[in-house]
Amino acid sequence: RNLNQRCRRHSSSATSLLLLCACACPRLAAAPARRVVSVSMSDGHTTNALDQDRAAALRAAGQQGSGQGSADALDAFPAVSVANGLYKYVLINAVVPKSGERKVLLRSGPGNYHVDVAGPTVNALIAAGLASDIPGGGRINRDDDTKDISIFGFSYGFGKGDHALAAEMCTAQFSGYKVSVSDGGY
């Protein structure tokens, strides 16, 4: 009973509760929740096992890197690419394997899942011989008419992004925009 009260914030659906709370609730970790293929959240959003697998595979591929990349290759990637509108976002730590030189990349654009937003950049980094990691994501609403940028939410596949860092990067890129951050919402 206490366990259900603690986890109810995730969803009223028992199926969702088992899948989402397995890492935080030791009694549920051994439950057959891993067999759930798709989980519908109480807020109407859905994630699935394929999305989770794709996110893990993309993260692993990016961490491998070929080791042949250079600082010039890293410099070729713009730090910020945020499309106008409401989209998912990811932060990507790009690394030159030999020197350890790092650059944080912010990407936001169309995609059903955060892995769809991260994929093109991670694949381009790999092709350039660079390594990467995706520490998290969320959503960004960029409104060019009102010059507002809102950063909020989290990624089921990669976890919650550093919204403060994303806001700092947007402020530097989009002069004259009001940038706000919230921990609420999906």
The pLDDT tens digits along the chain (186 residues) read 233 333 333 333 332 222 233 333 333 333 333 322 333 333 434 578 888 899 999 999 999 876 789 999 999 999 999 999 999 999 999 999 999 999 999 999 999 999 999 999 999 999 999 999 999 999 999 999 999 999 999 999 999 999 999 999 999 999 999 999 998 776
- For CA atoms 83, 85, 89, 91, give the dihedral sign: positive
Joined together, the tokens standing for residue 54 give 């794709």
